[in-house]
Amino acid sequence: MTSNLASIRRRIDVRTALLLVAKADAYGHGAIAIAHHAQRCGVDALGVTTCAEALELRQAGIRTRTVILGPVFSEEAPPAIRAGIELCVPSQELGRGVERAAFAVGKPARVHVKVDTGMGRLGVPPDEALELLETVRSSPGLELAGVMTHFAATEGASSAALQEQVLRFQGLLEEAKKRSLLSGRDVWIHAANSAAVLSGIDPLYDAVRVGIAAYGVSADPGLRSEEFRPILSVRTRIVHLRTLRTGDRVGYGGTWSATRPTRIAVLPMGYHDGIDWRLGNHGAVLIRGRRVPMVGRISMDYTTVDVTDVPGLGLGDTVTIIGEDAGRRIRVEELAELIGTIPYEITCTIGRRVARTYCGGANCQIARLPAAVSG
């Protein structure tokens, strides 16, 4: 991840802050370990979606500036406010709720006003954002920490729709400045995500929110770059081997049958662990540098592969689900394309029982667990 963060730094102005998005357990990579490493790498802030995610990082010793990018109800807010975590305010109603929580705690809440410029999801429309900014500025229980929007286009700056969002956001900011609503050294204006940064969006404002690119995964084929290397590998071991006769079937529903005497290896990972059910009879794994097909349906706990053409295998031999083996690689993007989904889904669905092992450079704190996933 260190090199990916450095590549992002080279693409943004030295004065632009880098917020690493670590929501959804850092896209399945493990939020606590990723946050500790990012903190050592000097990221300016971390972004998550919920209070629970933010508080988990605080409890794990993360002191880096942390922003909750999703909505927060008043009953959730007090512990986050006490911990100095910054909150998103996407509406007047939720803003008032955060204000009540701040009064109850006796400490102002630092908030980011979220503006919907075209995503059609969270946030106030630009024509209502000024009123919300005035509410925040006039409240003794709220401190303005930022103003943000979220781009909908996955292809980045080449999208006409994204450029329209920039124009709407820029118009709001100009009007807000006229009314002196954005004054203050600590107020961040932020909009750019991974796709926007990699495609050269301008302006970048005060901070960028980078997620998937930092993990070395591309959200859009047009933005893929060898400069960004995947930090995650998923590996398992063979737990059972057996030989099938011609005509024998494998798995639920018997969707695959042997056309020759076939050696089958059983892997102790299934769809609960992140091997998508749709990969059955379509996906492949790497064993000793060879691509080996998945055969039969993916079960909750097991996957079966045809290893007939890989002689000499034994119990405990390593199998690569995602990552590199002897110069060959299976990428997250490849799996996503194969089953018609997005790379985010592949990493985010890696199950909790899949143990994580974290490793890095000489200055990297290593948290070790039984190996299955490495980041």
- Among residues 23, 114, 271, 344, the one annotated as catalytic is 23
H helices present in the chain, as ranges: 2-11, 23-27, 31-41, 51-59, 77-82, 92-105, 126-138, 160-178, 194-198, 332-339, 343-348
Annotated catalytic, 205?
no
CA distance 37 to 51: 21
**Does residue 285 contact residue 321 with C-beta atoms inside 8 Å?**
yes
Pairing relationship of beta strands 66-71 and 86-89 according to DSSP bridges: parallel
- Among residues 107, 205, 215, 252, the one annotated as catalytic is 252
The residue behind tokens 């002191």 is 63
The residue behind tokens 């998945």 is 294
CA distance 369 to 156: 37
**Structure token pair of residue 144:** 């303005």
Annotated catalytic, 114?
no
Q: How many CB atoms lie within 10 A of CB 237?
A: 15
> What's the Rg (C-alpha) of the chain?
24
Catalytic site residues? 23, 252
